[in-house]
Structure formats: C-alpha cells, structure tokens
Amino acid sequence: MTNTATLSGERADLLDSLTQQRFFLRNTTRGLTDEQVAAAPTASSLCLGGLIKHLTHGEQQWVDFILAGPAQHAGHADIIRETLDGAKSMA
C-alpha cells in the first residue's frame, strides 16, 4: 500500500482497487520456480512470468482503464496456476 492513508475520494478508491488487482496477479506466482513461471500448461500459450512482464509494460503505457487489464490477466493467471499444481486463487 502506498500513501493510501493520505488520499481520499476518487484517488483512494482507484489506488485501493489497483493495489488489490496487482496483489491478485502476483499471488498466482507464490512459491513457484522460474521454470514453473515460464511454463504454458493450458490450452493458452500464456505463462505466469510472461503475464507479469506484459502487465508491467501495460501499466507503464497507461492503457485503457488501467484496472481492467490486471484483473483480466489475473483471471488468466488463476487458471494457469491451477493447471500447474492445483493451487486455487479463489475459494
């Protein structure tokens, strides 16, 4: 969390949501090896390490509505992680 306490209203709401979405994405890589984050275990060609790189780049470019990008990719990441070793992100 960065400076949330000093912000209010719209900025605080957006920062809070963005922080949460970044957490969800990062959390899909918990406890993995470099080899696992490079693997593409689903029908999709996506891998977790590639998703983190893509989102970092996307955020730098401030694309579209910035919250939706991380969230959608966190969804991709959830299923990739569950395919890798069965770990679930959501209950």
Partner 1 sequence: MTSTETGTPTLSGERADLLDALGKQRFFLRFTTRDLTDEQAKQSPTVSTLSLGGLIKHVTDTEQAWVRFIEDGPDAMTGNGKDWTEWTEEDYAEREKTFALQPGETLAGVLARYEEVARHTDELIATVDLDLSQPLPDAPWFPPGTCWSARRVLVHIVAETAQHSGHADIIREALDGAKSMG
- Residues engaged in binding partner 1 (CB under 8 A): 9-10, 13-14, 16-17, 20-21, 24, 42-44, 46, 64-65, 67-80, 82-83, 86, 91
| Residue whose CB is less far from partner 1, 38 or 68 | 68
Cβ 33 to partner 1 shortest distance, Å: 19
Pairs from 48-51 (Cβ < 8 Å, separation ≥ 24): 48/77, 48/80, 48/81, 48/84, 51/25, 51/76, 51/77, 51/80
Q: Are 81 and 28 in contact (CB under 8 A)?
A: yes
Cβ 4 to partner 1 shortest distance, Å: 12
